[in-house]
C-alpha cells in the first residue's frame, strides 16, 4: 500500500477496489449458499431431503429466500426504539464483513507488473483489528435486543452480551501463542511463519480453545443461547422481520466464513498447502470449517447457561492462560528459533 504522504497511483486504487468488490461478492454469495448448504446437510442428518424444489437440486433457493425477505413487511415494534432497531442488524453484519479485509485468502499474484497480495488490507495489527471488530459485533446483538422492547429479545441480548464477552477472552488468549510463534500481529506474517508446519501441530490446545470460542462467537449450537428458539422464541432478533432479520441471519453465516477463514489462517497455514493453488486451499479450509459447524449443529444439544459460563470462565480461559505460559517457557528454552 502507498504511504499517506504519497498520492497513490490510480492503478493501485482500481486494483484495491476490484479486490474489495470481488471479496464482497464472493463472501455474500457464499454466505447465501451456506444457508442453503446448512439446510440440506441438516436435512440429510435427519434422513430428510431438504429444499430441492427451486431450480436444479434446489440451487436457486437462496434467490427465492432473498426475494421473500425483501418483499416482507419491515416491522418495528411500536414501543421499540426506531433508530436503534433499524441500526442494529447493520451493526451485526458490517463488522463481520469488515473482518474479512485482513484475511489473506490466497498466494500473492503478479498482475500488470506488480505484486498483488490476495488480501484487502495487510495491516501490521491485523489480529488486533479482528479482536476489535469482533467486540463491535457485540453491539448488534445488544442493541437489537434492547431496541425491540420485548422480554424475549432483551433476555436473548443479555445472554448474547455475556456469552460473547466471555468467549472473546478465551478466543483472544488462544491466539496469543500463534503471535508468539510468528512474532507478528500481521496475518500475512502468521501465514508465512507456518510454511514449515501448521500451528495446529505446535498448538493443538490453542486450536481446540479457539475452535470452541469461535463456535460461541458465531452463536451457533451448542452455544446458541442468545437465540435459543425453544426458550426465547428467536432471542435477540425475535421482533425482526424482512431483510433486517435477513441481515442478522446472513451476518451469522458471514461470521462463520470469516471465523473459519481466521481459524485456517491462524492454525491451518492459511492459503498454504501442497500441489493445489493457494486460493483453493484457503477456500477449501473455510468450507471444511463451515461443514464442521453445520455438522456440530446437527449433533450437539444446547448448553445450559451455567454450563456455558462454567466452560468459558473456568475451563477455556485458564487453559488458554496455562497454554500461553507453557508456550513462553518453551520459546525461552528453544531460544531464538522455535520452529
Partner 1 sequence: MRVIDDMTAILTGLWTTWKHILRRPVTIQYPEEKRIPSPRYRARIILTRDPDGGERCVACYLCSAACPVDCISMQAEEGEGGRRRAAWFRINFSRCIFCGFCAEACPTMAIQMTPDYEICRRDVMDLVFEKEDLLVEHCGKDPEYNFYRHAGIGVTQPRGEGEGEKPTVDVRGLMP
Stretch that binds partner 1, among 27-35, 76-84, 250-258, 293-301 (CB under 8 A): 293-301
Least distance in angstroms from the C-beta of 272 to partner 1: 27
Rg, the chain, Cα only: 21
DSSP-assigned letter for residue 4:
S
Among 9, 48, 229, 314, binds partner 1 (CB under 8 A): 48
> For partner 1, how many residues bind (rule: CB under 8 A)?
13
- CA 277 to each of CA 23, 140, 269, 307: distance values in angstroms, whole numbers, following the listed order: 18, 36, 13, 42
Site for partner 1 in 106-125 (CB under 8 A): none
Among 16, 45, 107, 158, binds partner 1 (CB under 8 A): 45
Residue-by-residue DSSP string for 58-70: GTTHHHHHHHHHH
CB closer to partner 1 out of 51 and 140: 51
Peptide bond into 222 cis (omega under 30): yes
**Residue 273 neighbours by CB under 8 Å, 6+ apart:** 281
Least distance in angstroms from the C-beta of 328 to partner 1: 24
Q: Does 298 bind partner 1 (CB under 8 A)?
A: yes
Q: Does 307 bind partner 1 (CB under 8 A)?
A: no
CB closer to partner 1 out of 60 and 121: 60
Q: Does 321 bind partner 1 (CB under 8 A)?
A: no
**Residue 65 neighbours by CB under 8 Å, 6+ apart:** 32, 35, 246
Q: Does 322 bind partner 1 (CB under 8 A)?
A: no
Cell reading at 93: 453484519
Least distance in angstroms from the C-beta of 193 to partner 1: 29
Among 57, 83, 295, 329, binds partner 1 (CB under 8 A): 295
CB closer to partner 1 out of 72 and 302: 302
Can you say whether the dihedral through the CA atoms of 309, 313, 315, 317 is positive or negative?
positive
Which helix (H) or strand (E) segment holds residue 115: the answer is: strand 114-118
- For binding to partner 1 (CB under 8 A), which residues are involved? 41, 43-49, 295-296, 298-300
Amino acid at each position: 500500500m502507498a504511504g499517506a504522504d504519497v498520492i497513490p497511483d490510480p492503478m493501485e486504487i482500481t486494483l484495491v477496489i476490484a479486490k474489495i468488490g470481488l471479496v464482497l461478492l464472493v463472501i455474500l454469495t457464499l454466505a447465501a449458499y451456506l444457508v442453503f448448504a446448512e439446510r440440506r446437510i441438516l436435512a440429510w442428518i435427519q434422513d430428510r431431503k431438504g429444499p430441492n424444489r427451486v431450480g436444479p437440486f434446489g440451487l436457486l433457493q437462496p434467490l427465492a429466500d432473498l426475494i421473500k425477505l425483501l418483499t416482507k413487511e419491515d416491522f418495528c415494534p411500536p414501543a421499540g426504539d426506531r433508530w436503534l432497531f433499524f441500526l442494529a442488524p447493520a451493526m451485526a453484519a458490517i463488522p463481520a464483513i469488515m473482518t474479512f479485509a485482513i484475511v489473506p485468502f490466497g498466494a500473492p499474484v503478479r498482475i500488470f507488473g506488480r505484486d498483488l497480495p490476495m488480501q484487502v488490507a495487510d495491516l501490521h495489527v491485523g489480529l488486533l483489528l479482528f479482536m476489535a471488530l469482533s467486540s463491535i459485533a457485540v453491539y448488534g446483538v445488544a442493541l437489537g435486543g434492547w431496541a425491540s422492547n420485548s422480554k424475549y429479545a432483551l433476555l436473548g441480548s443479555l445472554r448474547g452480551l455475556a456469552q460473547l464477552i466471555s468467549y472473546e477472552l478465551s478466543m483472544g488468549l488462544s491466539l496469543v501463542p500463534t503471535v508468539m510463534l510468528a512474532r507478528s500481529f500481521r496475518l500475512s506474517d502468521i501465514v508465512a511463519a507456518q510454511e514449515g508446519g501448521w500451528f495446529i501441530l505446535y498448538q493443538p490446545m490453542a486450536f481446540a480453545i479457539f475452535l470452541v470460542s469461535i463456535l460461541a462467537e458465531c452463536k451457533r449450537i451448542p452455544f446458541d443461547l442468545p437465540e435459543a428458539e425453544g426458550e426465547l422464541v428467536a432471542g435477540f432478533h425475535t421482533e425482526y422481520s424482512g431483510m433486517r432479520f435477513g441481515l442478522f441471519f446472513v451476518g451469522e453465516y458471514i461470521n462463520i466464513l470469516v471465523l473459519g477463514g481466521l481459524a485456517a489462517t491462524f492454525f491451518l497455514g492459511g492459503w498454504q498447502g501442497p500441489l493445489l493453488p493457494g486460493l483453493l486451499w484457503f477456500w477449501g479450509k473455510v468450507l471444511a470449517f463451515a461443514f464442521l459447524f453445520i455438522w456440530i449443529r446437527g449433533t450437539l444439544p444446547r448448553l445450559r447457561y451455567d454450563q456455558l459460563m462454567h466452560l468459558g470462565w473456568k475451563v477455556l480461559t485458564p487453559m488458554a492462560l496455562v497454554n500461553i505460559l507453557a508456550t513462553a517457557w518453551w520459546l525461552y528454552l528453544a531460544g531464538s528459533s522455535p520452529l
